[in-house]
Chains A and B, each alone.
Chain A
Amino acid sequence: MGDWIQAAVFTLFVLALVWAGTRPVSPSELSRFAGRFSLSVDTMDFGLVSARLRRSRKLRSVAVAVGFTVGALPVYVNLIDRESASSFSNFFTSQAWLIGAAFGAMMAELLVVQRPTRQGKAALIARRPGDYVATGWFKLVAFLTLVAVAATMTAAVSRNPLWGRSLAGAAGAVIAVALIWLGLRTITDRPLLALDGPLRDTDEALRAYGAHHLVGAGIALTGGATSIALSPLTDPVPLVEWITLFCWLGSLGLWRAIAFDLPWRAGHPMMVPP
């Protein structure tokens, strides 16, 4: 009976997640978006922003829900076949919801089809990821990935019996780097909607919104993956246990802050009026 209740709670949670992601964008969400990305509410294209925020949120929440379902596979399999349930409980399935979050944020950018409103005119300015999100976060992702890879190598060299766990963690970190790179490249290469005016500002703010969600989820995945990669080393060095916990909780906190709270003045410095 307990197994059924557990499965029902997981299912309800997943359904609630999908429902929360697909609900319409509220006026307060729109004004928060405008404030966060320094947009004027009077000139903002509400239709465009509302449609893009909803679509992006839907894709992210569905991807997290799928990842969460993958992570909960042992619970569901347990209902039909107790013997094989444990084979679905590993460090890839436990990271699945974070992989889903980063994958969803990347897909939300990849699936945007945007054509410029003016034909045959462009600003000769290279757009860079740093125009849309602080570059310090990329350094943090690179550092955490290096720590995960170093932990795997240390575990392998010291013939740690749990070195496979480290390898799964390092793989998760590498997946995060690949998703962030692909998503940011999509954001910078996407055609500008307009060269100037409120439409350009809205377009730049939407790019910054996507970049913040992508990097936030990427940091959560990298942090989670790094803590998994470090976990086999906690036996010889007790301090690593605390570092692992700090890494895990810190990255989740950063995800929340970067994706939902941090303000950003979008746009290339050469295009922002003085």
Chain B
Amino acid sequence: MITISIDNTSPVPPFEQLRGQVAEIIRSGRFQPGARLPTVRQLAGDLGIAPNTVARAYKALEVEKLVQARGRHGTRVVDSSDLPKTRRADLLAEAAKRYVSEARRLGADIDEALEAARRAT
């Protein structure tokens, strides 16, 4: 079961905590493309936060092209294969930048980083 939690004592706003956790879950592949996210009211009730906070997090995830709101069919995880090629390339470049900066922070050179990426597939 995939769970998320909101820490009310954290300096990070609840909306950002929620957005970050859902984004991480989607990027890790634990949510299948096309999977449906809980409704705004359901998640807000379960977490004990305002519906506006959840709606704002979902909106941010939509801007990141991780989810798509489909009216009465709810909010679903975007199937990346449906994205236009240019948009997919942009998202891949952004993810690569994040990975490279993390590798640099750990002191790894480019060959080590590429090797780690190959091993991860």
Q: Is B78 an interface residue (CB 8 A)?
A: no
Select one of A120, A190, A196 contacting B47, CB under 8 A. Answer: A120
Residue contact B74 to A119, C-beta cutoff 8 Å: no
Residue contact B37 to A124, C-beta cutoff 8 Å: yes
Residue contact B8 to A191, C-beta cutoff 8 Å: no
Q: Is A115 an interface residue (CB 8 A)?
A: yes
Residue contact A126 to B74, C-beta cutoff 8 Å: yes
Q: Report the separation of the CA atoms of residues A123 and B47 in the bound assembly, to the nearest whole angstrom.
A: 9
Residue contact A189 to B39, C-beta cutoff 8 Å: yes
Total count of chain B residues near the partner, CB < 8 A: 24
Residue contact A122 to B3, C-beta cutoff 8 Å: yes
Select one of B31, B36, B47, B74 contacting A122, CB under 8 A. Answer: B47
Q: Is B110 an interface residue (CB 8 A)?
A: no
- Chain B contacts for A190, CB-based, 8 A: 45
Select one of A120, A126, A196 contacting B42, CB under 8 A. Answer: A126
Q: Is B86 an interface residue (CB 8 A)?
A: no
A-B residue pair count with CB separations less than 8 angstroms: 67
Q: Is A270 an interface residue (CB 8 A)?
A: yes
Residue contact A120 to B6, C-beta cutoff 8 Å: yes
Q: Report the separation of the CA atoms of residues A191 and B49 in the bound assembly, to the nearest whole angstrom.
A: 11
Select one of A121, A127, A189 contacting B4, CB under 8 A. Answer: A121
Interface residues of A (CB under 8 A from B): 115-116, 119-127, 188-192, 195-196, 270-271
A–B Cβ pairs within 8 angstroms, 25 of them: A119-B48, A120-B5, A120-B6, A120-B7, A120-B8, A122-B4, A122-B38, A122-B47, A123-B3, A123-B46, A124-B3, A124-B25, A124-B31, A126-B38, A126-B39, A126-B42, A126-B74, A188-B39, A189-B39, A189-B42, A191-B45, A192-B46, A195-B1, A195-B3, A271-B1
In addition to A189-B41, A191-B46, 11 A-B residue pairs with Cβ atoms within 8 Å of each other are A115-B48, A119-B48, A120-B48, A122-B3, A124-B3, A124-B31, A125-B2, A188-B39, A189-B39, A189-B45, A195-B1
Interface residues of B (CB under 8 A from A): 1-8, 22, 25, 31, 36-39, 41-43, 45-49, 74
